[in-house]
Amino acid sequence: MRVRFWGVRGSTPTPQKENMGYGGNTSCIEIRTDTNQILIFDGGTGIRNLGNDLQQEHGDKPINAHIFFSHFHLDHIQGVPFFRPLYNPRNHFTFYFAGRRDANLVMDALAGMMANPYFPVDMSKLPCSREYVDLVEGTFTVADTRILVLPLNHPQGCVGYRIMQNGKVISYCTDVEHGVGWSDRNILMLAKDSDFFIVDAQYTPEELPDHIGWGHGSWQQAIEIGIEAKVKRIALYHHDPYHEDSDVEKILDAASKLYPNVIAAREGLEVSV
């Protein structure tokens, strides 16, 4: 499997020169399976560039992709209206979500961004074909992968994903605050022995006490969970909007002293597992 980061910033886009090394777009990653199936996780502003790349790759051929949401806070969905493949009738997308009892709620959450007076195009008018799938906690099959979905501690709810194929594992655990028993157990289960662990590392340990209840963790907690779960490689993700490139470099330097096989996620980075 291959992972490509299209948006790595948390909370809000940060289009400023001090952040261009790691990128200012909000959460979005692309996973290509061993048979080149397209899995997309979250629809922050990074999904816009992903859409452009997919159009260039496919040309006149239809695009079929699976889009998963960790939750529906704005930084994880705000790029969806600008995902240009949605405006092509040849394309087909399946939207996945968890923790909602009715697929209509997901359609409402996404469509709300595109409703009057916020956007000129109503989502119901999009010409592509779409499906909406409500996931329950547990393991399911999509494309040619097995995916475990479990809830994580975050205001209004969030889920993490464990993507498994041919003995390889990618764990995607954005937006999680540590210290709640059930959630701590779930993140360990999602991360256990994974080849690549993509994890919330928004704050420094010094910043964390001022952000209790905000739904995020520190880079140090991310490393500690990764060590406990015996992961092979960690990607620090969901960088704080107030952290410039120099701050992320300092975080990465401190984290690598605790766990050498760690990276800070940046836009455009591709990792194979």
pLDDT of amino acid 13: 96
Task: Dump the DSSP string for 32-100.
Answer: E-TT--EEEE--STHHHHHHHHHHHHHTTSPPEEEEE-S--SGGGTTTGGG-GGGG-TT-EEEEEEES-
Q: Residue range 130-152: average pLDDT?
A: 94
Question: pTM above the 0.85 mark?
Answer: yes
Name the residue with higher pLDDT: 210 or 99: 210
pLDDT of amino acid 114: 80
Residue 19 corresponds to which tokens in the numbers above? Answer: 């952040």
Domain residue extents for the chain: 2-272
What's the rounded Cα separation, in Å, for the pair 187 and 96? 20
Reported as a single tens digit per residue, the pLDDT across 206-264 is 999 999 999 999 999 999 999 999 999 999 999 999 999 999 999 999 999 999 999 99
102 confidence band (pLDDT: 50, 70, 90): low
Q: Is the pLDDT confidence value at 150 over 90?
A: yes
Reported as a single tens digit per residue, the pLDDT across 163-195 is 999 999 999 999 999 999 999 999 999 999 999
103 confidence band (pLDDT: 50, 70, 90): low
pLDDT of amino acid 104: 60
Q: Position 78: which residue type?
A: Q
Beta bridge partners of 163: 147, 170
Q: Are 170 and 156 in contact (CB under 8 A)?
A: no
The beta-strand segments (E) located in 153-195 are 158-165, 168-173
pLDDT of amino acid 172: 98
Q: For domain 2-272, which architecture applies?
A: 4-Layer Sandwich (3.60)
110 confidence band (pLDDT: 50, 70, 90): confident
